Amino acid sequence: MEGPYKYIRDGNGKVSRVIRIGTRNSQLARIQTDSVAEKLKGLYPDVHIEIVGMTTTGDKILDTALSKIGEKSLFTKELETALERNEVDLVVHSLKDLPTTLPPGFTIGAVLKRENPHDAVVLHPQNMGKSLDTLPDKSVIGTSSLRRAAQLKKRFPHLEFKDIRGNLNTRLKKLDEKGDFSAIILAAAGLRRMGWESRVSQILGPEDCMYAVGQGAIAIEVRAKDKDILEMVSVLHDPNTVLRCIAERAFLRRLEGGCSVPVAVHTEVKDSQLYLTGAVYSLDGSDSLKETMQTSIASDNKVEERVDEWVQRVGVTANNMPGPAQDASEKLGLDLANLLLSKGAKEILTLARELNDAR
């Protein structure tokens, strides 16, 4: 085997390979990492799994500084540094936190079956029974996402939107213990993983709010040269999720989008067709472009030549899936982005980025 691997010997003299999984120390990150560890233990009972929690100087940086670079991107960099130094063998992320272009030497070795990718409304306890439609005029809704705010401002003009920061626990505490917010918007997947479905008052469908690229999917990042680790985690790939997320990530990468601009998507696989809807918005939602395209992802299931076995597509290596379906998904994302760019998407996003940077 390649690489500086770690082994342990038990009391009976049996030697086991150690796989070290890096994670952020937030409750949600630990839950997601534990679920991956359980899957790997079930598949590889002879492997010993260690979970390495990462703390970062980011915890100590003021919110204002963090808002410019993003707390999540800070953690992502810390985790990648640990991966680069061989302190961990793989890292578990929410896919939506990973950039569409990864640093050299890294790849996404698995994209797990997606949870509900939609956003959810969590109401202040005094507003129970209401929805975004029925909340009183000037009710304040908390969200840290430009994408959510842009769409919801247009859809619910009677509401006001304000930033709310912190992890899930912190945001729920701010909602419940202060009177600043009538409701907050969070990813449904995170709430479900935390066991907080009872707090969900409303799931926002695509007609109200399309989701972020990769939202609801867990990704495993590995060193691209560690072929045996890649083989090990690749069995966790969910084919439909992989194809949907390749299309979404290709769309975002072509638009040169990120967290600092409002870009939203919706994908669906039906009858061997992959449907991608993508949209860009001005910060207040008044200006937008939205289009849908589709492509065939049918596979003849022939055993393919494995010449492109380690090809990355928008950072994803899926060597156990048909290449043509992945190529078609990537092309779909590029084609849809090019269509929006031809209609003026770049101007909308450039202005949105400038206005956001000036805030």
Q: How far apart are CA 154 and CA 278, in angstroms?
A: 17
Known catalytic residue: 97? yes
Work out the angle at residue 151's Cα, subtended by the Cα atoms of residues 31 and 210, and round it to the nearest 5 degrees. 50
| Euclidean distance between CA atoms 203 and 192, whole angstroms | 12
Q: Which residues contact 213 (CB under 8 A, 6 or more apart)?
A: 96, 100, 245, 248, 249, 251, 252, 257, 263, 265
Take residue 330 and report the two structure tokens written for it: 């990537």
CA distance 329 to 331: 5
Catalytic choice (97, 119, 208, 226) = 97
The residues, any chain, with a CB within 8 Å of residue 358's CB and separated by 6 or more, are: none
Rounded to whole angstroms, the Cα distance separating 188 from 102 reads 26
Report whether 104 contacts 315 (CB < 8 A): no
Contacts of 45 by beta carbon, 8 Å cutoff, 6+ apart: none
Q: Which residues are catalytic?
A: 97
